[in-house]
Structure 1
Amino acid sequence: MENKKTCIVIGASHAGVNFAFSLRREGWAGDIILYDSDPMLPYHRPPLSKAYLTSDDGIEKNLLKSAESYDKEGITLNLGVSVRTIDPSQKNIILGDGSKQKYDKLVIATGARPIMPPIAGLANCNNVFPLRTAADVTEIRNTLERSNKKRVVVIGGGYIGLETAASLKKLGASVTVLEREERILSRVTAPEMSTFFQKLHADNGVEVLTSKNVVRIEWNSEEKEVICDDGTSYPADMIIVGVGILVNKELAVSAGLTIENGIKVDATAKTSDDDIYAIGDCTFHYNPHYKRYIRLESVQNAVDQAKVAAAAICGKEAKYDTIPWFWSDQYDLKLQMVGLSEGYDKVLVRNESNDNKSFSVWYFKEGSLLAVDAVNNAKAYVYGTKFIKSGERIDPLKLIDLGLEFKPANLLAE
């Protein structure tokens, strides 16, 4: 690569940072410049709702890379800097102050932002927080410390809402989770998992209520009431909003890129512009295993796409072909998920002996394994990953037979 070439990365979270370091490893000798509106050194996001929220550690304990690492690799960080627009005809980005920066290759890693729903009274209410950045977590911790009654209402019963609820309970808060759907995690998991997690939170003193559509917030300086459309209301000193995200696609739109449930990219993470790539939560990409386009909100996807894009920009053969995986920590429980369960027509639950906190849920479609949710069961997660990748068929009766030794060879269909 010519030393004069410049690669700009917009977004310095998992995708952007991993891309920058991968690009240098792949042999890019020119400039690498990262821009991010967050003024803090790039940090790990998953601990925000878990370990970072419940500890007294500063964000320096959760950095993706040390400040020295960027200097060592010749990667320029521009933090607390916004990008206003992209001009692909001139191969420029225009910054918030109006200045311009030329690029030869551009990578969009802008991620997503939390949805703040149009609930009456929410926008002007104090002590209302999403949980997306380190600054959000710091504000949540400080607000909880100042609160006398420590009553928290979490709007949204997805993984972020439930993880935050568990962490706040550990900090001594009284927590109520309000979920609009008939069950928590309804969009991402089977009813068996929803029931398990609802009971888990109840056993730990967190009230999780479903079919609760929040319609307005009534508040004054002393008191807040979260009111649902069935007339029920819940007092709160603090409100956490975890109802989903919106893709940060505005810069891609300004560049005239193809948008479809995110920034559409090919197998190398390249957009409809040959000199612009996109990676991470903001992308809509093809997964060859599931034979469809998907958009994933996961660190794994961000890191994998970053590596693929870096190799492709440096002229190497690289294509995205990864089985998605995720995790969630709540209380003393670790949930590991592999695959995508959407479209399943059969669910099998394997309980490990009498341990009701170690089990796995296996999702099938037309006999093929789609996904596995493993609760405190790393072995099921590993085996599930193996079967999804290989496409080998599992005998359902063998899977749930606790008399058989739990190993891949014993689970295969004959």
Structure 2
Amino acid sequence: MSALFPTYKRFDLSAKQASGTVVEDTEGNTYLDFGSGIGVCNLGHRHPDVQQALENQLNHYWHVSNLYHNPIQEEVADSLVQHSAGEHVFFCNSGTEANEAAIKLARKATGKHKIISFEQSFHGRTLGSMAATGQEKIHSGFGPMLETFSYVPFNDSNAVKKAVDSDTAAVMLELIQGEGGINIADLDFVRELAHICQESDVLLIVDEVQTGIGRTGKPFAYQHYGITPDIITSAKGLANGIPVGAMIAKQTLRDVLGPGSHAATFGGNPLAMAAAQAVLKHVSQDEFLQEVTEKGMYLLATLNESVGQLPVVSSVRGTGLMLGIECSQDVTPVIELLLDKGLLVLSAGPNVIRLLPPLTVSKKEMDAAVQLIREVLTDEKAYIS
């Protein structure tokens, strides 16, 4: 019996090593990875530049506490500010922690307490971020959620208007709901939402934990919408597999979280910062982002052509290299069969196959993945006729 808590329903794969888009297990089997560690390894496994940056930092120092200056933190913060609408950065260890920081910042900055988020959203599993998550299955078994969180239908600006009141501190939004089903925010909705927030003196928090760091063909997904969030949260792809999180906020919020108001012992760890620095050098390049955009368009078109018309497929959707295939039934057996065939994919809710390949994926690898998906979606073993 494992000494681990059974908090994950694990697939029958024990990783031995990985490189680029390929994972090898302890039995010598290889897999094409279209999950990227749940959108983490945006530059693929063990990207040479990230690995070199980590090795270099290992020879300097690993940890000295945030009681002292850490120059590499300043450099990574400057890069995040340069490529976002924010001016100041708080580093932590995960997306959940970044969202916790955002919730605290919004409440303290405004003196108000209500946070509005959206049905089918996902913001984390600590008490605060879980309360911000609009999914009952995430809440189940943990008793009453923290007060003053409310949930409205996604893409419904009228529902937001009705929910905003004098105690509303912030609206918290994913532009593509990753865990909720690859649900994409409408352009008009997002712009109206930003207007509502501005008119009502409500902060706009955009959760970019999964959509950020080049995943959609922009440094951050909100940049597709022409809006300026007050707070942006980031994690996952930021350090390509080394635990990190970041909250990026506007200048007006800088002094709200002063000494003693918030902290993270390991936040901005030098190893994580070295990895993030190497990642951002790649992901911030216009040519690289254009390639991601083109790859995403190619993969979406290829999926639509190959599987989009199958009876079991309801829709294929996504932005950049964050794509979902919605099916008319539970996709668990599909994902298991794809694993058997050597392709790693994810689910997004019960009926959506989620694809998050490394941003460095090749056309040949995309073609191979699409072929395997078609084979499985037409396989009787997947209970699909």
Higher relative contact order (CA 8 A, sep 6+): 2
Q: TM-score, normalised by structure 2?
A: 0.29
Using structure 1 for the length normalisation, give the TM-score: 0.28
Of Structure 1 and Structure 2, the greater helix share is in 2
Give 1 or 2 for the bigger CA radius of gyration: 1
